[in-house]
Structure 1
């Protein structure tokens, strides 16, 4: 793995310690109430409302490859979503998805991201998406859903 590997998984207990959140608990968007959208952790649910109330001054980076972690309720431009909640909680940079991405594509995007030679998560994501797009230029559903939140 590249320079972004070796991060502790984000669990309920670790999230309050400012961990780096590398991926992927399954998520459940709740369109009628975006604050009720949640990640399904191994020990319980973690809602957008709970995430956004955390204060993680040492949060650095969170990669959310689960389905639609940057999608909110009924309005497409709402900022109430799982990715935004992690950013609000203190993670300076977050990678999330706008819609459900196939598991194989999500895994490939994560592999490309974590092995990227580009410095910074925004540049690494850009390089990863360019590679995915080059492999399937006529299928934007495979490469256009990932976004970077933060500087």
Structure 2
């Protein structure tokens, strides 16, 4: 992913007077519509992960604010809900973007507890349950380590 694309996109965002939240939605839609997706559910997840790995630097460049991260999470939820082949891919996409520093644990936890959409809510919350528990445990461990260091 070239820095020129990021710089160009930032420039266009400024010219158009768009917020980062709006921009991340546009980027997500563009990135996801640039591919002919496989019709097989088990193959589409793999394809999506490969595709999004390439574009994670671009997504990261436009999620510098918590609200932008939440906007992206909601876009992903909506996309996976509207595209039936992606229903099972939601958690894997979120984990990939977490590992790529696009999504923070704060944004994921906020989405999980209060900010998710109603669309496919039970399916996506269930998919995310184990990962969210892992995030909460990791957070508690790092807090107790900090207390011991004081």
Bigger proportion of residues as helix: 2
Q: After TM superposition, is the score higher than 0.5?
A: no
TM-score of the two chains, using structure 2 as the length reference? 0.31
TM-score when normalising by structure 1: 0.31
